[in-house]
Chains A and B, each alone.
Chain A
Amino acid sequence: MTSEQRLEQLREKAWQEGVVPGRGVDVAGGPIPRKPGYYGQPVVKPPVWTWEVPLYFFFGGIGGMSAVIAFGALLFHHVDLARPALWIAAIAGAVLSPILLIMDLGRPHLFLNMLRVFKHRSAMSMGAWILTTFGTFAVAGLITLELHAYQIFPGTLDQLLRLAAGIFIFGAAISGTLLATYTGVLIGATAIPAWFLHRTFLPIHFGTAGLGSAAGVLELLGHRIAALNFLGFYAAAVETALLIWLSLDKKGAANRAIHEHGSGWLIRMGEVLNGPLALVPRFLGFIPWAAISFLAGALISRFGWIAVGKVSGADPEAVFASQR
Chain B
Amino acid sequence: MIGEGIKSTNQRKHSYVQDHVEVGFFTDPSVCIGCKACEVACKEWNQVPDDGFTWSGNSYDNTGHLGASTWRHVMFLEQDRQKGNQITGPMGLPDPQSDLSAVAAAKAEDPFRWVFLSDVCKHCEEAGCLEACPTGSIVRTETGTVFVQDDVCNGCGYCVVSCPFGVIDRRPAPLPNAGGAFKCTFCYDRQKSGLTPACAKVCPTESIVFGRLDDLRARANERVQYLKQNGYADAQVYDPTETSVRGIHAFFLILGEPEAYGLPPKPQVPTIYLKSAWMAAFATALASIIATLLGFALFS
Contact = CB atoms under 8 A, between A and B. Distances in A.
A52 to B, nearest CB: 11
17 contacts: A43-B165, A43-B262, A44-B163, A65-B288, A106-B153, A106-B155, A110-B135, A122-B131, A124-B134, A177-B284, A181-B281, A185-B274, A189-B270, A191-B268, A203-B284, A320-B259, A320-B264
Interface stretch (B6-14, B35-43, B74-82, B216-224): B74-82
A207 to B, nearest CB: 4
B284 to A, nearest CB: 4
Contacts of B293: 72, 75
A319 B163 CA distance: 12
B277 A189 contact: yes
Contact of A27 (B79, B137, B166): B79
Nearest to B75: A38
A43 B58 CA distance: 16
Interface in B61-102: 61, 64-65, 67, 75, 77-80, 90
Contacts of A30: 78
Contacts of B284: 177, 181, 184, 203-204, 207-208
Interface majority SS on B: helix, strand, loop or mixed?
mixed
Interface residues of A, number: 93
B179 interface: yes
Given A191-B164, A200-B280, A41 B288 contact: no
Interface string B166-185: 11111100000011110000
A228 B295 contact: yes
A107 B161 contact: no
B229 interface: no
Interface in A18-57: 26-28, 30, 32, 36-39, 41-49
B273 interface: yes
Classify chain B: how many residues form its interface, as a range: 35 or more
Interface of A: 3-4, 7, 26-28, 30, 32, 36-39, 41-49, 65, 68-69, 71-73, 75-78, 104-108, 110-111, 113-114, 116-117, 119, 121-125, 127-128, 173-174, 177-178, 180-182, 184-192, 195-196, 199-204, 207-208, 210-211, 225-231, 234, 309, 313, 316, 319-320, 323-324
Contacts, number: 272
B144 to A, nearest CB: 19
Contacts of B153: 106-107, 110, 113
A181 B285 contact: yes
A107 B180 contact: yes
A323 B154 contact: no
B47 interface: no
Residue from the set B178, B181, B264, B279 with the largest chain A CB neighbour count within 10 Å: B264
Contact of B169 (A45, A192, A199): A45
Given A48-B157, A119-B136, 11 more contacts: A39-B56, A45-B166, A49-B157, A108-B154, A124-B158, A202-B280, A207-B288, A231-B291, A231-B295, A316-B259, A319-B264
B157 A190 contact: no
B41 to A, nearest CB: 23
B285 A177 contact: yes
A110 B154 contact: yes
B178 A106 contact: yes
Nearest to B164: A191
A37 B261 CA distance: 6
Nearest to B119: A38
Contacts of A44: 161, 163-166, 264
| Interface pairs A-B: 7 shortest CB-CB | A106-B155, A106-B179, A38-B262, A177-B285, A226-B299, A207-B284, A110-B154
